[in-house]
Amino acid sequence: RAAEWQLDQPAWSGRLRITAKGSTAFIKLEDKTSGELFAQAPVEQFPGIAVEGVTDSSRYFVIRIEDGNGRRAFIGVGFVDRGDAFDFNVALQDHFKWVRQQSELARQAQDLEQGPKLDLGFKEGQTIKLNIANMKKKEGGTGSTRPRPAGPGGLSLLPPPPGGKSGCGERPAPLSTPSQLPGTPITDSLLSWPQPTATPAADVWGDFAKASG
């Protein structure tokens, strides 16, 4: 609990900086003027024992400092501004998120290297055989297709009917005027579908209500 600390008389005040070397983050306490190192806490896992938050505040933490000779001590640190405490948390979280991503990528690369490799190359003396269909036109053969001449605009023209003769320069007979079918009006030479007889709305909904399926 930070309330049990002597917050009005801190033993030291200065600058806190976080650096990283490999997968380990270092919390460094430095003099705010000269930058001289006061203490540092290596963090190999977060959350973990190296950094723990107190139970009664979001601005105070307990960190485990080391002197490099095997000696360790737990000290309490706090931030005057709540935003700085938030940035402190986010910096540690981002670092160890990156560590997890790098570890996952390395594991995937190792799995690919250890997995079976496909040898798609040709062995010495190995050959392959390709069957290509005969595209030549066969005289009198069934299923043969004749290319249709392309008309204007890329449309294909139908071949003349069997037995039909057309001389050079002859014009086809004009089409006869389409006769009007009963109940089917003809407008601009286009046939339109007969218009349905209007029925009362009540009957239409009644049919829908009785329909099955």
- For residue 174, give every residue at least 6 positions away whose Cβ sits within 8 Å of its Cβ, in sequence order, or none: none
Is the confidence at residue 12, as pLDDT, over 80? yes
Is the confidence at residue 76, as pLDDT, over 90? yes
Mean pLDDT for 171-176 is 54
Per-residue pLDDT reduced to its tens digit, 81-107: 999 999 999 999 999 999 999 988 888
The pLDDT confidence band at residue 189, using thresholds 50, 70 and 90, is very low
Average pLDDT score over the chain: 75
Answer whether 14's CB lies under 8 Å from 30's CB: yes
Q: Which of 81, 69, 11 is nearest to 40 (CA)?
A: 69
Q: What is the pLDDT of residue 90?
A: 94
Q: What is the pLDDT of residue 145?
A: 56
Per-residue pLDDT reduced to its tens digit, 54-70: 999 999 999 999 988 88
How many angstroms separate the CA atoms of 9 and 3, rounded? 13
Provide the percentage of residues in the chain whose pLDDT is more than 70: 60
Range name among 83-87, 88-92, 108-112, 113-117 with the lowest pLDDT average:
113-117
Q: Which of 75, 70, 69 is nearest to 27 (CA)?
A: 75
SS3 annotation, the chain: CHHHCCCCCCCCCCEEEEEEECCEEEEEEECCCCCCEEEEEEECCCCECCEEECCCCCCEEEEEEECCCCCEEEEEEECCCHHHHHHHHHHHHHHHHHHHHHHHHHHHHHHHHHCCCCCCCCCCCCCCCCCCCCCCCCCCCCCCCCCCCECHHHCECCCCCCCCCCCCCCCCCCCCCCCCECCECEECCEECCCCCCCCCHHHHHHHHHHCCC
Centre a 10 Å sphere on the Cβ of residue 164 and count the other Cβ atoms it contains.
7
Mean pLDDT for 176-198 is 52
- List domains and CATH numbers for the chain: 2-113 (2.30.29.30)
The pLDDT confidence band at residue 21, using thresholds 50, 70 and 90, is very high
Per-residue pLDDT reduced to its tens digit, 22-58: 999 999 999 989 989 999 999 998 888 999 999 999 9
Is the confidence at residue 1, as pLDDT, over 50? yes
